[in-house]
Amino acid sequence: MVPDLRARLRSGDFLLGTWLTILDPIVPELLAGGGFDLFIADGEHGAVGTDHLVAMVIATRAAGVPVLYRVGANEPVRIMHALDAGAAGVVVPQVRSPADVERAVAWCRYPPTGLRGVAPRRVSGYGRGTAAYLKAANDAVTCCAQIETREAMDALDEIFAVPGLDTVLIGPNDLAASLGHLGEPTHPVVEAAIDRVLERGSAAGIPVGAWTGSPTQARQRRAQGFAWATISSDYGFMVAAGDATVREVREG
């Protein structure tokens, strides 16, 4: 059974995650020892497929770090593949309407609440724990919608009112582009939109997360009242550490 990420998101503790894009499962296994609360494996802009996701989930199981999967599109097969593989939930990008969220939620839940097909396989211990998994799954799977479009901003209250939505993640880069500020994720207009998402989510009782690019920014989001944040990525950490090491040697 996947860790109860939904409960942790509502616990009041600030959770910190990062993005998985490198396909070798040794990378998330290595990062899982560093104290992260969650990972997001990227199947939208990254090349993480279901087979890679399975390896990542296995690699992080011992450390108890849940892995969400950002699907490439809001489609039932992609969502069900991720959940059956053992992901703690899914992150659905490019949400534009309450109907988009309703569709994602439906494919994350078994009937009668939703439409998810019944074939848990790996996530049920390959059939050894099917009954227990089916009983608990609807209360354990995390459905996260990304708020990153102008259309979503125009329908925030309706989106937050969709039953079964567990959390949202703000994508500042796409949000900036959608608001007419491509490449300017810290533009005042974008920051104002981010503040509004947090305010409306808090009013609705929905935990709000944000992508951040640095420890300073992550601390700022925590101070603002965000429930969680992602910071950088597996390759981002490698680039930063590698570049800093080379500079230190050459300039020292």
Per DSSP bridges, beta strands 15-20 and 142-147 are unpaired
- CA 59 to chain CA centroid, nearest Å: 18
Candidates 45, 52, 81, 181; catalytic one: 45
* β partners of residue 209: 169, 228
Is 187 labeled as catalytic in the residue annotation?
Answer: no
Contact 25, 182 (CB under 8 A): no
Contacts of 180 (CB under 8 A, 6+ apart): 189
What residue type is 178 in one-letter code? S
Contacts of 187 (CB under 8 A, 6+ apart): 176, 179, 181
Contact 218, 226 (CB under 8 A): no
DSSP class of 122: G
The DSSP-derived string for 155-208 is THHHHHTSTT--EEEE-HHHHHHHTT-TT-TT-HHHHHHHHHHHHHHHHHT--E
Q: Which sequence positions are flagged as catalytic?
A: 45
